[in-house]
């Protein structure tokens, strides 16, 4: 891998985009390498959390130089929405650790994660409208689900960049931290998530995602009830509750 750096610290995977000269803009190579990495990560049962970050800038968007002469068919092939869906659909929790610019496709990458933690100095937005296009990797779909349609339109139709404090105010990100504490904060959340029962995490994630996609609230509640009851098949549910009763820390096995 040239455009991505991957390391593993115990059960936590950290992937960093590595195209500093183009502010980590996402080109075909980055996406292909991400796909190959996902092929490995999706089957890795020793991984409990994935952090996506980069040094200096998260990603300043899809690579404009690659896109400038594309026709519609090429643009469709270039769109990396299916790659970001693979991230969104990972069984394990994912955290975007954002600093510098997180724009366009870079912001969409962060939106595909379960959590977004940003450095106070981060700048983010969906500026595609300024190039006479629009977000094409989940931005028009995930943004309104997070911040509501009016705020999403503000971001997507005005195409202005906002700072991390504003992003947290509108619910676009989960947390703002001092720049030197970004990775520490992401690791802290990752370590907390590592303590939870993996099947319960996966099921809760599916229930939230599935619930948002249901046409009616009653349909979503019905699915939630089924998933909730299914968790009583797991050894971890017995362990979690026994540990409470016996006043000890649970030891989960992911079963
Ligand atoms: C290609 C990019 C790039 C991008 C920056 N660079 N963003 N190259 N694609 N998205 C390159 C610049 O060309 C430049 O290379 C180098 O990175 C440094 O950038 P500068 O512009 O000189 O830096 P600065 O003045 O600090 O401005 C930073 C910036 C600006 C505000 C982030 O670079 C910018 O506006 N970038 C474009 C942001 C954007 O529109 N993103 C959305 C893209 S569309 P050289 O070689 O000149 O030094 C998109 C679609 C998603 O993401 C949907 C996909 C399916």
pLDDT in tens, 163-208: 999 999 999 999 999 999 999 999 999 999 999 999 999 999 999 9
Tell me the catalytic residues: 108, 128
pLDDT at 124: 98
CA of 91 from ligand 1 middle (Å) equals 32
What stretch(es) of the chain map to CATH 3.90.226.10?
4-194
CA of 25 from ligand 1 middle (Å) equals 7
pLDDT at 22: 96
pLDDT at 54: 86
The residue contributing the CA closest to ligand 1 atom 1 is 63
Ligand 1 near 103 CB (within 6 A): yes
Three-class SS of residue 234?
Answer: coil
pLDDT tens for each residue of 41-91: 999 999 999 999 988 999 999 999 999 999 999 999 999 999 999 999 999
| Residues of the chain by 3-state class (helix, strand, coil), percent to 5 | 50, 15, 30
Ligand 1 near 58 CB (within 6 A): no
Dihedral, 114, 120, 126, 128 alpha carbons, nearest 10? -130
pLDDT tens for each residue of 5-17: 999 999 999 999 9
57 — phi, psi (to 5°)?
Answer: -125, 135
> DSSP state, 200?
H
pLDDT at 231: 98
What stretch(es) of the chain map to CATH 1.10.12?
198-245
Q: Tell me the CA distances in angstroms from 121 to 56, 106, 154, 180, one per residue in order.
A: 10, 16, 21, 10
pLDDT at 55: 87
CB within 8 A of 250, min separation 6: which ones? 197, 236, 239, 240, 242, 243, 244
pLDDT tens for each residue of 81-138: 999 999 999 999 999 999 999 999 999 999 999 999 999 999 999 999 999 999 999 9
CATH architecture of 4-194: Alpha-Beta Complex (3.90)
Ligand 1 near 129 CB (within 6 A): no
CATH architecture of 198-245: Orthogonal Bundle (1.10)
């Amino acid at each position: 891998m040239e455009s991505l750096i991957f390391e593993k610290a115990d059960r936590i995977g950290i992937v960093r985009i590595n195209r500093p000269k183009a502010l980590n803009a996402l080109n075909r190579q980055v996406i292909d390498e991400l796909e190959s990495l996902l092929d490995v990560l999706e089957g890795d049962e020793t991984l409990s959390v994935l952090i996506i970050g980069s040094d200096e800038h998260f990603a300043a968007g899809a690579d404009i130089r690659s896109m400038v002469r594309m026709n519609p068919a090429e643009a469709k092939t270039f769109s990396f929405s299916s790659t970001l869906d693979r991230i969104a659909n990972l069984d394990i929790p994912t955290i975007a650790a954002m600093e510098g610019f997180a724009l366009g496709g870079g912001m969409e990458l962060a939106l595909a994660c379960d959590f977004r933690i940003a450095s106070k100095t981060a700048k983010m937005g969906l500026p595609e409208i300024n190039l006479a296009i629009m977000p094409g990797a989940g931005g028009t779909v995930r943004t309104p689900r997070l911040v509501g349609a009016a705020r999403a339109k503000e971001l997507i139709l005005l195409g202005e960049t906002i700072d991390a404090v504003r992003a947290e105010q509108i619910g676009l990100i989960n947390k703002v931290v001092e720049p030197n504490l970004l990775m520490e904060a992401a690791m802290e959340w990752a370590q907390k998530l590592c303590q939870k029962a993996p099947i319960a995490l996966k099921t809760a994630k599916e229930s939230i995602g599935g619930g948002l996609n249901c046409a009616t609230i009653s349909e979503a509640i019905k699915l939630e009830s089924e998933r909730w009851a299914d968790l009583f098949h797991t050894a971890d549910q017995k362990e979690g509750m026994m540990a409470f009763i016996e006043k000890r820390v649970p030891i989960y096995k992911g079963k």
